[in-house]
Structure 1
């Protein structure tokens, strides 16, 4: 039996994932966590074979939780399951130690396949993410500007480029508007941009957000 911990701050999402996995006799959700710290505490106290981890948690960024858990338990298998498309966080998640990355919108169709692949010791990489990884390998030898950003700075960039207002970004990131402004200013300074418009143009031209096609 594969024991799974579901980490998401929305109870309905946790319930939906649990129901989705109920039909698989060898998979069992034996734990739930609504925050990064709760997930870390449960992993330290209990045995889980697999984590389904959201990125947007109220206390810690999901990538930071991922890094901490992998540093403490390198053998732990983790699939990041997020509302953000693969091109935004897929590569970052894999570099941090995730075995797979899924967009929540497609999870119902691919989650069981992804779990089966990951528990067998293989990474699960969608076509979109595979293309992103390939582009990274054959692209510029220099590090792209956005790769130097912290996870919070990068999240601010992506949300801003998606057309979110400061108050909307503040709500999504569960941070104060003042703190979001600090991340925005740091992001602009690191990337050498004079204003939001330049940062938004960069994000769109580098496919950091989904197109409106």
Structure 2
């Protein structure tokens, strides 16, 4: 029996994941959390065979959560189940230590297959994302400026290009507005841009808007 811990900030999504995983007789959802800090707290007290986590949750989440989990529990496999289908987000999650990445619009059987494969020590990523990863790597000899953004900067970059206010981003990520503003300035400087409007144009030109 594979003991699975699921993390997502939406209760209805966690319930849906539970229902999908219940289709597997060898799978058991043994715990859940609504944010990254809840994941860390539970993992300190109990062992699991697999973590299935969203990428976008309040506070500790995404790449930072994956790094924290793999740094403290390196033997625990991490399967990302995310709404983000952008190859850039998937690449960063895999680089941080996740063993699998599938999107929330996948078929239940695809999630079951991914969960079993990752829990057994393998890797699982949707075929479309895998192909994009290969072609993206082969097409780029040098890193583009946006690829040089830190994980936190890239996370804030994704919020900015959606037109979100700094205060809203700060609340979502549990950061101070001043910290978010500082990151915004660094992002603009690294990309040699001057405004949020130029950020959006830049994202469109480089296919970073889903």
The two structures have a TM-score, normalised by structure 1, of 0.87
Equivalence for 1:206: 206
Equivalence for 1:81: 81
1:132 aligns with 2:99: no
- Given that 2:35 and 2:61 are in contact with CA atoms closer than 8 Å, whether structure 1 keeps it comes out as no
Equivalence for 2:34: 34
RMSD: 2.2
CA distance in 2, matches of 1:71, 1:156: 23
What secondary structure is seen at the aligned counterpart in 1 of 2:57? coil
CA distance in 2, matches of 1:109, 1:170: 37
Aligned pairs for 1:80-119 (under 5 A) are 80-106=80-106, 108=108, 110-119=110-119
CA distance in 1, matches of 2:107, 2:24: 15
- Given that 1:88 and 1:158 are in contact with CA atoms closer than 8 Å, whether structure 2 keeps it comes out as no
CA distance in 1, matches of 2:123, 2:172: 29
Equivalence for 1:50: 50
CA distance in 2, matches of 1:164, 1:110: 33
Shift of 1:68: 1.5
Q: Which blocks of at least 5 consecutive residues in structure 2 are unaligned?
A: none
Shift of 1:51: 0.4
Point out the more displaced range, 149-158 or 85-94: 149-158
CA distance in 1, matches of 2:79, 2:147: 21
Q: How many residues align?
A: 210
What secondary structure is seen at the aligned counterpart in 2 of 1:193? coil
CA distance in 1, matches of 2:73, 2:165: 38
- Given that 2:59 and 2:172 are in contact with CA atoms closer than 8 Å, whether structure 1 keeps it comes out as no
- Given that 1:70 and 1:76 are in contact with CA atoms closer than 8 Å, whether structure 2 keeps it comes out as yes
Give the direction of change, closer, same or farther, for the CA distance of 1:175–1:71 in structure 2 (3 Å limit).
Answer: closer
Shift of 1:165: 4.6
Deviations 1:126-148 (A, max 9, x none): 12321331133212222221122
Q: Which blocks of at least 5 consecutive residues in structure 1 are unaligned?
A: none
What secondary structure is seen at the aligned counterpart in 2 of 1:106? coil
The two structures have a TM-score, normalised by structure 2, of 0.88
Equivalence for 2:15: 15
- Given that 1:81 and 1:103 are in contact with CA atoms closer than 8 Å, whether structure 2 keeps it comes out as yes
- Given that 1:61 and 1:152 are in contact with CA atoms closer than 8 Å, whether structure 2 keeps it comes out as no
Point out the more displaced range, 109-118 or 70-79: 109-118
Equivalence for 1:194: 194
